[in-house]
Amino acid sequence: MGPLKYLAMQRIDGEHRADVVRLVSGSATIDSLERPRVRELLRLARGEREFWGERTPGEGALSQLNLTVRYVGMLASCLVLAGHGWWLVALVVLPSMLCRWMWRREFTAGLALDRTGLAHEIRARHWTQLATEWTGGKEVRTFGLATWAANQARKATLAQCAPAWAAGERSARRQWLPAVLIGPSLMAAYVLVVLDTVQGRGTVAGMTALFAAAWSVLTALGYADAHEIEGALPGLAAMGKLTQELEMRDHTSPRPGGGKLREGRPVIRFENVSFHYPGTDRPVLKNLDLTLYPGELLAMVGLNGAGKSTLIKLLAGLYRPTSGRITANGTDIATLEPAEWRRHLAIVFQDFVRYPLSVKDNIALGRADTAREQARLESAAHDAGLAELVSMLPSGWETPLSRSRTGGVDLSGGQWQQVVLARAFYGVRSGVDFLVLDEPTAHLDVRTEFDVFQKITDRRGDTGVVLISHRLSTVRAADRIILLEDGCVTENGTHDELMARRGTYARLFTIQARRFRAGYDDRMEEEAS
């Protein structure tokens, strides 16, 4: 492929990818992204070649251009043939068109067949990556999984190829058909032209021109470019369908953008909120009522799967309640412009993203919409206990946090958690109203956790803090603790109040404290002996 053609293709694909990102990120919530149909449309629309038949929009567009040029050439060739006789055009064009139609049919059937094998291909790729990449390499070696992973990959590849192989065999057996369709008519055309020339009704030069014209019609109607165009069409069609799918929403839920947040720091109320994830009917939250006050440090505790992270996602407007509503100063947050509303929150999700960017970018993304301030970056890093680490990195703030980048480094799980905390603190220092932390210190050592928690408690008053944690020793200093059980708030109060109630919180706290005490006593005994 020529460099110019490659550049043109890259530009078209780049624009297309930007359109996909704009389209998808324009959707206020993320629930549609969970629908299998949307995920498949998105995969197609992204125009990434997952199997041989798929092509990017850029490849399709350039092939379309190529085909148009060839059709113009074909038209000129038809005129040359028509100069000798219109019957000659019919003799060459009709069988070629028939062949093209057959090839097209076969190709589209092959594409559809290949798509059915995609799940197997994804599986094969997964096992191959697991066995050959650095991240999976540890477990593959320690568990002795290499042979097993190789077999899984092989099995999946064979399962993917079997139907396509059978279709390929059937198609190979039919290869005589185009030869039978085109060969005799082309031969007849050539013989008739030669006869005419021999009988003095044409010249040798004219005969050669007719031969060349007939061949050019044949090749113009060939299917080489059409493969590329056909392979790109599903991706383009998926964009339209994706737009419809993303716009499809519950008509009863209010449209964002109509509401206005009243002045003052927001008081957030969950009013009788119930929620189940799309595609499931198990309620995660049930008629939940909860108020979040500005400046308050609220801790949220509960067993695994109680719905704590889900509540945070609803607060961020990433999902809408199935019933009930969430208000800020009395306004339903579903009616607010989503980006506007989210500017009031700085959130650390449990499954945070590790961007393969510099440490500076990783932190500044906590407020990507404002100009960067080095002083603010440094304070955020200091609050998260990250300042020393940054000073030790090979290129300081500019060090990429990924070994796949030149000069990049890999951080430990705890260090990443500090980076993500710094990202949230950066948002806080830019003036958010609520800092929401979902298990922010799970990977931190006790000393760092203590320091970070101190910084968080120092912030209360200026910023409301919602802290989810399984370490109950961390949450006891909160202004208020709520216990989430089975989708409802079952306990609500200060640590002392909840301990006095002798309910679930008191039981959980006592178990953790006893374990900690036992570990501490063992260590003391060891040290003493």
Ligand X SMILES: Nc1ncnc2c1ncn2[C@@H]1O[C@H](COP(=O)(O)OP(=O)(O)OP(=O)(O)O)[C@@H](O)[C@H]1O
366, 420 Cβ separation under 8 angstroms = no
Q: How far apart are CA 479 and CA 468, in angstroms?
A: 13
Candidate segments 297-305, 362-370, 400-408, 516-524, binder of ligand X by CB under 6 A: 297-305
State which residue, 74 or 300, has the beta carbon closest to ligand X. 300
Candidate segments 108-116, 141-149, 308-316, 335-343, binder of ligand X by CB under 6 A: 308-316
What does the DSSP 8-state code read for residue 400?
A: B
Residue choice 47, 57, 307, 321 for contact with ligand X (CB under 6 A): 307
Q: What is the CA radius of gyration of the chain?
A: 33
Q: Is 431 in the site for ligand X (CB under 6 A)?
A: no
Candidate segments 10-18, 160-168, 177-185, 303-311, binder of ligand X by CB under 6 A: 303-311
Question: What spatial distance separates the first Cα and last Cα of the chain, rounded to whole Å?
Answer: 76
Residue 484 CA to chain centroid, in angstroms? 30
The sign of the dihedral angle between the CA atoms of 293, 294, 297, 301 is: positive
Q: Is 308 in the site for ligand X (CB under 6 A)?
A: yes
Instruction: Pick out residues in 22-41 that bind ligand X (CB under 6 A).
Output: 34
Strand pairing partners for 331?
328
Q: Is 277 in the site for ligand X (CB under 6 A)?
A: yes
Residue choice 93, 131, 306, 390 for contact with ligand X (CB under 6 A): 306
Min dist. Cβ of residue 381 to ligand X (A): 27
Q: How far apart are CA 366 and CA 383, in angstroms?
A: 14
Q: What is the dihedral of CA 32, 33, 39, 42, to 10 degrees?
A: 100
Tell me how crowded residue 400 is: count the other CB atoms within 10 A of its CB: 21
The contact mask relative to ligand X for 207-236 (x = CB under 6 A, - = no) is ------------------------------
Q: Is 302 in the site for ligand X (CB under 6 A)?
A: yes
Write the DSSP assignment of 64-122 as a string of letters: HHHHHHHHHHHHHHHHHHHHH-HHHHHHHHHHHHHHHHHHHHHHHHHHHHHHHTHHHHH
User: 3-state class of 464 per DSSP?
Assistant: strand
Min dist. Cβ of residue 300 to ligand X (A): 9
How many residues contact ligand X, by CB under 6 A?
Answer: 13
Min dist. Cβ of residue 285 to ligand X (A): 9
Min dist. Cβ of residue 307 to ligand X (A): 4
Q: How far apart are CA 94 and CA 182, in angstroms?
A: 9
Candidate segments 14-22, 64-72, 168-176, 300-308, binder of ligand X by CB under 6 A: 300-308
State which residue, 284 or 359, has the beta carbon closest to ligand X. 284
Residue choice 135, 280, 404, 529 for contact with ligand X (CB under 6 A): 280
Residue choice 310, 399, 418, 463 for contact with ligand X (CB under 6 A): 310
Q: Is 529 in the site for ligand X (CB under 6 A)?
A: no
Q: Is 304 in the site for ligand X (CB under 6 A)?
A: yes
Residue choice 309, 379, 402, 490 for contact with ligand X (CB under 6 A): 309
Q: Is 351 in the site for ligand X (CB under 6 A)?
A: no
Q: Is 321 in the site for ligand X (CB under 6 A)?
A: no
Residue 290: how many CA atoms within 13 Å on its side-chain side?
Answer: 30
Query: Residue 241's closest CA among 400, 25, 42, 408?
Result: 42
Q: How far apart are CA 507 and CA 29, in angstroms?
A: 37
State which residue, 168 or 305, has the beta carbon closest to ligand X. 305
State which residue, 190 or 277, has the beta carbon closest to ligand X. 277
State which residue, 128 or 469, has the beta carbon closest to ligand X. 469
State which residue, 34 or 462, has the beta carbon closest to ligand X. 34
The sign of the dihedral angle between the CA atoms of 486, 487, 490, 495 is: positive
Candidate segments 112-120, 123-131, 298-306, 459-467, binder of ligand X by CB under 6 A: 298-306
Q: Is 284 in the site for ligand X (CB under 6 A)?
A: yes
Q: What is the dihedral of CA 279, 280, 284, 289, to 10 degrees?
A: 60
Strand (E) or helix (H) holding 527: helix 504-528
Q: Which residues bind ligand X (CB under 6 A)?
A: 34, 277, 280, 284, 302, 304-310, 350
